């Protein structure tokens, strides 16, 4: 089975090369470097070194660059999460190396990995060069539990509506909308506040990430 190695990248190529050497490469494999969207000459130089390495030793392996805006946490998590789903949908083994790059970039990537519920191999090399394998993440993702109607509820909650208004916007019976709000709140996707006997529903940070990944059709 072909594999994809996703690596958070900083100013040096060594985390990528180290992971490539460890796992080996075959024709059809893919490398995805995750970098901040703000360009940096040192990151560009590291990417070029990786291209040179692949050209010399593994010409059948592709290199792609995934840029994320690290200043927008939810959007960054959603970007990486979409890519993880894409790789898994293609039937690839996914390896995520978190050894390089900014701490916020690493945190965003790891958060996406947790949300994916994926059994992807995740690893990190510490500052003193110790290799650590992170625990298996083969758990049921909250995302797999969502129904199409749930996405409509989340979309409606973007405007912090009352349950009654939300039911109308989501095109659901009031009783159904109420049950889904309760369920989605337990999942951590919605928050509710009751004021003057009116319960207002709004998205949580996790709820906003979900809408980025699965916009309501």
Annotate 36-48 with DSSP letters as a single string: ESS--HHHHHHHH
**The tokens 């509506």 sit on which residue?**
161
Domain of 155, CATH number, reads 1.10.10.10
- If asked whether residues 167 and 100 sit together in one domain, one would say no
- If asked whether residues 166 and 88 sit together in one domain, one would say no
Beta-bridge mates of residue 202: 191
- The residue from 90, 105, 133 where one domain ends is 133
Domain of 118, CATH number, reads 3.40.50.11700
Query: How far, in Å, CA of 181 to CA of 189, rounded?
Result: 9
Domain total in the chain: 2
pTM: 0.79
Query: How far, in Å, CA of 203 to CA of 136, rounded?
Result: 29
Q: Are 81 and 114 in contact (CB under 8 A)?
A: no
- Write the CA distances from 102 to 46, 66, 78, 98, 107, integer angstroms: 14, 14, 18, 10, 9
- If asked whether residues 116 and 160 sit together in one domain, one would say no
- If asked whether residues 128 and 149 sit together in one domain, one would say no
- Alpha-carbon dihedral sign for residues 172, 174, 179, 181: positive
- If asked whether residues 18 and 50 sit together in one domain, one would say yes
- The residue from 80, 105, 133 where one domain ends is 133
Tens of pLDDT along the chain (217 residues) come to 899 999 999 888 887 888 888 888 899 999 999 999 987 899 999 999 999 999 998 999 999 999 999 999 999 999 999 999 999 899 999 999 998 899 999 999 999 988 887 767 777 776 666 777 665 555 456 777 788 999 999 999 998 889 999 999 999 999 999 999 999 999 889 999 988 888 899 999 889 988 888 875 4
- If asked whether residues 73 and 51 sit together in one domain, one would say yes
- The residue from 133, 167, 182 where one domain ends is 133
Q: Which domain holds residue 43?
A: 3-133
- If asked whether residues 46 and 102 sit together in one domain, one would say yes
- Phi, psi at residue 194, to the nearest 5°? -105, 120
Beta-bridge mates of residue 94: 4
Rounded (10°) angle between helices 148-157 and 205-213: 120
- If asked whether residues 31 and 111 sit together in one domain, one would say yes
Mark 130-161 as b/e (b = at least 16 C-beta within 10 Å).
eeeeeeebeeeebbeebeeebbbbbbbbeeeb
- If asked whether residues 122 and 61 sit together in one domain, one would say yes
- If asked whether residues 129 and 153 sit together in one domain, one would say no
């Amino acid at each position: 089975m072909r594999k994809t190695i996703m690596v958070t990248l900083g100013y040096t190529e060594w985390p990528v090369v180290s992971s490539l050497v460890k796992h080996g490469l075959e024709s059809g494999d893919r490398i995805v470097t995750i970098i901040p969207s703000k360009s940096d000459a040192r990151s560009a130089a590291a990417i070029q070194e990786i291209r040179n390495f692949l050209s010399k030793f593994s010409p059948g392996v592709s290199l792609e660059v995934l840029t994320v805006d690290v200043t927008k946490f939810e959007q960054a998590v959603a970007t990486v999460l979409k890519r993880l789903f894409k790789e898994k949908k293609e039937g690839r083994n996914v390896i995520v190396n978190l050894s390089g790059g900014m701490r916020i970039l690493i945190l965003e990537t790891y958060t996406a990995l947790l949300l994916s519920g994926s059994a992807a191999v995740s690893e990190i090399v510490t500052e003193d060069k110790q290799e650590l394998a992170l625990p298996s993440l083969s758990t049921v993702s909250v995302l797999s539990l969502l129904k199409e109607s749930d996405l409509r509820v989340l979309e409606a909650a973007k405007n912090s509506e009352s349950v009654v208004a939300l039911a109308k916007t989501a095109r659901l019976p009031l009783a159904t909308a109420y049950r889904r709000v309760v369920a989605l709140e337990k999942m951590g996707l919605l928050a509710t506040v009751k004021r003057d006997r009116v319960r207002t529903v709004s998205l949580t940070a996790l709820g906003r990430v979900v809408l980025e990944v699965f916009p309501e059709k």
